[in-house]
């Protein structure tokens, strides 16, 4: 930490010039969110209407924001210190209650979900303020964060006390408070707003690695869901086996699109940035979209494996095509942050999915699932080849296939 702190804070990570490593307790903490991702995927599977999808989207943003704000705390505070570790365990047990309430969050467990979520967000912030003390340079920043989380907390609790559309409206407003307020520095009367200088002590590489861990966690849950769906089938006939292989190949292609080259480039870009805190914030903004694509795709895989010969209708069409489209778009935005532009391979992938859309209504789930997997393989191959053909400079550059 800089030497101009007014008072030293307890339990902060040591800044010795080396990248802060992701600790085992942080990975253990993430398991709660693996469970939450599975819950959301199953909820989407059983609520395929546009309204049901919107409800799930709001819940997903809540899950992501709870993880994201905790991720920032462990970026500054050392998870190997007992006090910080106990804080994470307290968030974990409350997060388990929150995740368990997700399927009925818009029903009888809405208030349980709201209370557990607000307890995580506000409670964690209050503990951090106690760690920092009154005069540390990070204290005003966390006071502003706590203020905004309290405002959103009122909306979460109010929504939990309401039903139907009013609940969705309150919770949507709460999500916007927590997602948008960092973009403007958490401005509050009397407390002012945070600036880039408040985030320059951020360990950018740590944030990048934490985001990457969440992506692999979500993809891993997608694979587990695919395997468990196959296991639950009574008869393993050829269409079901082919559907399983198609979905599994799609998961591999999704891993390849993100992890083959861009994950390591992301770590380098964030560590070399003159404003690592700002770039780390961008990572959080785009990864929420990217992981949403994994969740939607996992729900689509369930449908393909369970009903391969079923004809496509509007709900299943948006599920099968929307998941890969959201994932490709999220990856494109992520690479826009890392490389400075949206890759051509991703534009082509989105165009191919748009071309498949009208054809999908004339075929079945298995054929459409196979075509979306093929699109994902095309994007992964194009991206991988073009990056490997580009000059090995400090910042990797992309060349379209066939470009000289």
Domain boundary among 199, 225, 252: 199
Q: Containing domain of residue 383, as a range?
A: 204-389
Domain count, the chain: 2
Whether residues 129 and 234 share a domain: the answer is: no
pTM metric for this prediction: 0.86
Residue 401 lies in a domain: no
Residue-wise pLDDT for 308-344, tens only, equals: 888 888 888 889 999 999 999 999 999 888 888 899 9
Number of other residues whose CB lies within 10 A of the CB of residue 17: 5
The helix/strand/coil state of 232 is helix
Question: Torsion angle, CA of 50/117/35/328, rounded to 10 degrees?
Answer: 50
Residue ending a domain, choose from 147, 169, 199: 199
Asked if 153 and 271 sit in the same domain, the reply is no
- Bridge partners of residue 77, in order along the sequence: 12
Specify if 159 maps to a domain: yes
Are 164 and 308 found together in one domain? no
Q: What is the pLDDT of residue 275?
A: 64
Q: For residues 35 and 173, state if they share a domain.
A: yes
What would the 3-class secondary structure string for the chain be? CCCCCCCCCCCECCCCCCCCCCCHHHHHHHHHHHHHHHHHHHHHHHCCCHHHHHHHHHHHHHHHHHHHHHHHHHHHECCCCHHHHHHHHHHHHHHHHHHHCHHHCCCCCHHHHHHHHHHHHHHHHHHHHHHHCCCCCCHHHHHHHHHHHHHHHHHHHHHHHCCHHHHHHHHHHHHHHHHHHHHHCCCECCCECCCHHHHCCCCHHHHHHHHHHHHHHHHHHHHHHHHHHHHHCCCCCHHHHHHHHHHHHHHHHHHHHHHCCHHHHHHHHHHHCCCHHHHHHHHHHHHHHHHHHHHHHHHHHHHHHHCCCCECCHHHHHHHHHHHHHHHHHHHHHHHHHHCCCCHHHHHHHHHHHHHHHHHCCCEHHHHHHHHHHHHHHHHHHHHHHHHHCCCCCCCCCCCCCCC
- Cβ–Cβ < 8 Å for 221, 34: yes
Clarify whether residues 181 and 242 are in a common domain.
Answer: no
Last residue within a domain, chosen from 176, 199, 222: 199
Q: Residue 181 class from Cβ within 10 Å (0-12 exposed, 13-18 middle, 19+ buried)?
A: buried
Average pLDDT over residues 72-76: 86
pLDDT for 276 equals 63
Would you say residue 353 lies in a domain? yes
pLDDT at 196: 60
Same domain, 99 and 142: yes
Give 228's contacts (C-beta < 8 A, 6+ positions apart): none
Looking at the fold, whether 234 and 193 belong to one and the same domain comes out as no
Q: Are residues 155 and 209 in the same domain?
A: no
Q: Do 214 and 178 share a domain, yes or no?
A: no
Residue 403 within any structural domain of the chain: no
pLDDT tens for each residue of 162-197: 999 999 999 999 999 999 888 888 888 887 777 665
Task: Give a yes or no: residue 100 inside a domain.
Answer: yes
Residue pair 319/300 in contact by the 8 Å Cβ criterion: yes
Least confident of 5-19, 109-123, 236-250, 293-307: 5-19
* pLDDT recorded at residue 369: 92
User: Are 248 and 125 within one domain?
Assistant: no
**One domain for residues 57 and 175:** yes
Query: Which pLDDT band, with edges at 50, 70 and 90, does 2 fall under?
Result: very low
In whole angstroms, what is the distance from residue 386 CA to residue 290 CA? 21
7 in a structural domain:
no
Select, from the ranges 146-155, 206-215, 234-243, the one with the highest average predicted confidence (pLDDT).
Answer: 146-155
Q: In terms of pLDDT, which residue wins out, 193 or 377?
A: 377
**Pair (168, 276) in one structural domain:** no
Whether residue 48 lies inside any domain: the answer is: yes
**Does some domain include residue 325?**
yes
What does the pLDDT read at residue 49? Answer: 86
Q: How far apart are CA 8 and CA 355, in angstroms?
A: 59
pLDDT at 399: 38
Mean of pLDDT over the chain: 85
Confidence of residue 264 (pLDDT cuts 50, 70, 90): low
* Greatest mean pLDDT among 72-81, 128-137, 225-234, 247-256: 247-256
């Amino acid at each position: 930490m800089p030497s101009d702190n007014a008072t030293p804070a307890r339990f902060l990570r040591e800044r010795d010039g080396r990248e802060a490593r992701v600790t085992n307790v942080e990975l253990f903490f993430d398991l709660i969110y693996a469970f939450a991702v599975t819950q959301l995927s199953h909820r989407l599977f059983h609520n395929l209407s546009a309204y049901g999808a919107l409800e799930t989207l709001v819940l997903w943003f809540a899950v992501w924001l709870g993880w994201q704000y905790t991720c920032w705390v462990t970026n500054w505070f050392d998870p190997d210190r007992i006090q910080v570790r106990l804080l994470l365990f307290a968030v974990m047990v409350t997060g388990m209650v929150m995740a368990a309430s997700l399927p009925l969050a818009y029903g009888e467990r809405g208030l349980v979900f709201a209370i557990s979520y607000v307890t995580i967000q506000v409670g964690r912030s209050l503990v951090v303020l106690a760690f920092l003390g009154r005069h540390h340079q990070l204290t005003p920043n966390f006071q502003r964060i706590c203020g905004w989380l309290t405002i959103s907390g009122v909306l979460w609790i109010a929504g939990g006390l309401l039903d139907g559309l009013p609940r969705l409206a309150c919770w949507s407003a709460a999500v916007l408070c927590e997602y948008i307020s960092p973009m403007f520095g958490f401005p509050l009367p009397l407390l002012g707003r945070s600036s880039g200088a408040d985030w320059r002590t951020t360990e950018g590489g740590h944030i990048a690695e934490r985001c990457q861990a969440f992506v692999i966690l979500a993809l891993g849950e997608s694979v587990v869901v695919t395997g468990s769906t196959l296991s639950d089938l009574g008869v393993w006939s050829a269409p079901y086996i082919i559907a399983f292989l198609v979905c599994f190949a799609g998961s591999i292609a999704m891993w390849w699109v993100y992890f083959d080259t861009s994950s390591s480039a992301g770590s380098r870009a964030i560590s070399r940035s003159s404003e690592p805190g700002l770039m780390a914030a961008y990572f959080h903004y785009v990864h929420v979209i990217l992981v949403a694509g994994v969740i939607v795709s996992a729900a689509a895989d369930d449908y393909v494996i369970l009903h391969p010969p079923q004809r496509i209708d509007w709900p299943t069409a948006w599920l099968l095509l929307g998941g890969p489209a959201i994932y490709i778009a999220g990856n494109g935005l992520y690479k826009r942050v890392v490389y400075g532009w949206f890759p051509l391979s991703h534009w082509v992938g989105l165009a191919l999915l748009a071309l498949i859309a009208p054809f999908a209504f004339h075929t079945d789930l298995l054929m459409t699932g196979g075509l979306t997997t093929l699109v994902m393989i095309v994007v992964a191959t194009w991206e991988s080849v073009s990056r490997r053909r580009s000059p090995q400079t400090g910042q990797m550059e992309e060349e379209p296939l066939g470009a000289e």
